[in-house]
Amino acid sequence: MTRCRRQLCRLFFLGLGFVLIMPTWPGHAAAQNILLMQDDLADLTAGDAGSRDLTITPRADLLRQFCAERAGAPARLAVASQRPTRRQHDACAAAKDGRQVEALIGRRALFAMTAGATFGLTADMLYRALARDTPGAGGKLVANRVMRWRELDPSLPDAAIKVLLPPANSIEHRILSELILYEGCAAKTTARLPVDPIRRLAACTNLRSDSAVARRTDKQTVSMWLSRQPAGAVALVGVAILLAEPDLRTTLPLDGVTPSFDTIADGRYAAALPVYLLTVIGPANARTIGGIVGPLLAEASIGPLGKLPRRGLAPLSAADRVRLRATLGRAIDKAAE
């Protein structure tokens, strides 16, 4: 086990945890409470009996459902990878019932793992390794024919490109597409990319489908896949896989930054997306909200022995966890007065 791997696991086990259980609370019919989970974050609820009370919602529709006009003053909570914009915040009908709160509760991250080979990757390298079309002569996009890492950069091993991709509908796939491939593509300023942002995103993030890549399935063990590949094979995985498979030993730096508790929490490691808890706290629902977020954000949930490391949520720092509870506690107490 490499020093990087040992440090990463030690920090995760010491600092992670957040159990997302949405039960039916006494005095509140389940239909009254608005409990929304962004669809590509739904794996955070795996195995929780209370998750039956949760509505899994497409990312594009979550804020609309969260802010929709509703009778009475039910508890509103949502877990999402984005905060409302100022315009969405101002237009949110739910906000008239109280104070709208967006609290960062952790991050989802993507790691490049090998079976022992050590080398550094960049967003540009991964884009040129994985994209279906990459810039050719004169910047025109042409079919990607690169088959060995050394063709991308002399610092890389002279080994075949073999990359195990995360599942297509996962948050880790979004990180790969939006934070790695798109950034690597955008750095190619000489490329003739479409002006339209939707077409540009597609051009930058369409993945090759030849023997250089494979897509991970639920039945697949990543460490076993790596053991059957040539040296230099890379598996792109999230926190849950990293901690579930102790045989995964070597984590590669991305853009010069090695992933760790500190580099994810402070934003230096770029391949990570924030996860927010959204709610509206007012006099009519403050006690109900307090009964939900109290256990949710207790140290037993988001602290050292929490469940969510094994489900993919990278942690806030210990100091930020304390601030999170204190800030929400003050908001709830003030509303309940």
Q: Where are the beta strands (DSSP E) in the chain?
A: 34-38, 55-57, 76-80, 99-109, 111-114, 133-135, 141-143, 163-165, 213-215, 234-237, 250-251, 272-281
Return the CATH architecture of domain 111-237.
3-Layer(aba) Sandwich (3.40)
The amino acid present at 220, given as its one-letter code, is Q
The CATH number for 3-109+272-336, chosen from 3.40.470.10, 3.30.420.130, 3.40.190.10, 2.60.40.10, is: 3.40.190.10
Decide if 109 contacts 311 (C-beta within 8 A): no
3-state secondary structure of 94: helix
3-state secondary structure of 77: strand
Asked if the domains at 3-109+272-336 and 111-237 fall in one CATH topology, the answer is yes
Decide if 109 contacts 243 (C-beta within 8 A): no
Per-residue pLDDT of the chain (337 residues; tens, 9 = 90+): 344 444 443 333 333 333 333 333 333 344 457 889 999 999 988 766 455 568 899 999 999 999 988 776 578 899 999 999 999 988 998 888 889 999 999 999 999 999 999 999 999 999 999 999 998 887 788 999 999 999 999 999 999 999 999 999 999 999 999 999 999 998 766 667 888 888 888 889 999 999 999 999 888 899 999 999 999 999 999 999 998 999 998 999 999 999 987 899 999 999 999 999 999 999 989 998 998 888 778 777 776 567 877 889 998 999 999 999 999 999 999 988 7
d(CA 44, CA 204): 29
Number of residues assigned to the chain: 337
Residue ranges per domain, the chain?
3-109+272-336, 111-237
Decide if 159 contacts 181 (C-beta within 8 A): no
How large is the C-alpha radius of gyration of the chain? 22
Backbone angles phi and psi of 221, in degrees to 5: -95, 120
d(CA 167, CA 182): 18
